[in-house]
Structure 1
Amino acid sequence: MKVTIKLFAHYRIGRFREAVREYAPGTSVRAGIAELRFNEPGPGVILVNGTPAPLDHVLQEGDTVALFPLISGG
């Protein structure tokens, strides 16, 4: 199945802004983004089709996953 992955902020460095990836049916967000090898524990915010989703959310054909890192500042 095809899923669009969108990366934001420093996640784009050395990667991509947006890409369509092919995943097996039943793939979770966690498994789908494992190939991106984030150094930190994982994305701060995950949106699937514009709605917040957990790492264990099972992806569906045509989903769009947006990944945002945790950002701190003051």
Structure 2
Amino acid sequence: MIKIDLKLFVTLSKYLPKDSGCLEIPEETTVEKLMLDFGIPPELVKLIFINGKRQDSKYRLKHNDRVGLFPPVGGG
């Protein structure tokens, strides 16, 4: 098991478990699998940041990764 810090922003925040702080997940978990496990529809995730760098959903998470998932942003 590894520990990650997961942040879900704006409309995705409802998928974050209560008292989530540091999460323990199995080694070799991808962002795609993480979204599936938390019931986050992949089409709702526009940007994935790992440790401040943009990644895609195939990224394999590592111990102490900081994960940020963002929905599409509207505006004008």
TM-score by length of 2: 0.80
Whether the 8 Å contact between 1:29 and 1:57 is mirrored in structure 2 is: yes
Give distance in 2, aligned partners of 1:40 and 1:11. Answer: 11
Alignment identity in percent?
24
Aligned position for 1:56? 58
| 1:16-35 map, 5 Å | 19-35=21-37
* 1:40-65 superposed Cα distances (whole Å, 9 cap, x missing partner): 61411100000000000000000010
Give distance in 2, aligned partners of 1:25 and 1:14. Answer: 21
Supply the AA of the counterpart residue of 1:73.
G
User: Mean Cα displacement is larger for which, 53-62 or 23-32?
Assistant: 23-32
TM-score by length of 1: 0.82
Give distance in 1, aligned partners of 2:63 and 2:39. Answer: 23
* 1:7-50 superposed Cα distances (whole Å, 9 cap, x missing partner): 11111136359632111111101111212222461411100000
Q: Which SS does the other structure have where 1:61 is aligned?
A: coil
Gaps in structure 1 of 5+ consecutive residues: none
Residue 73 of structure 1 pairs with residue 72 of structure 2 = no
Give distance in 2, aligned partners of 1:25 and 1:40. Answer: 21
Gaps in structure 2 of 5+ consecutive residues: none
More helix by share: 2
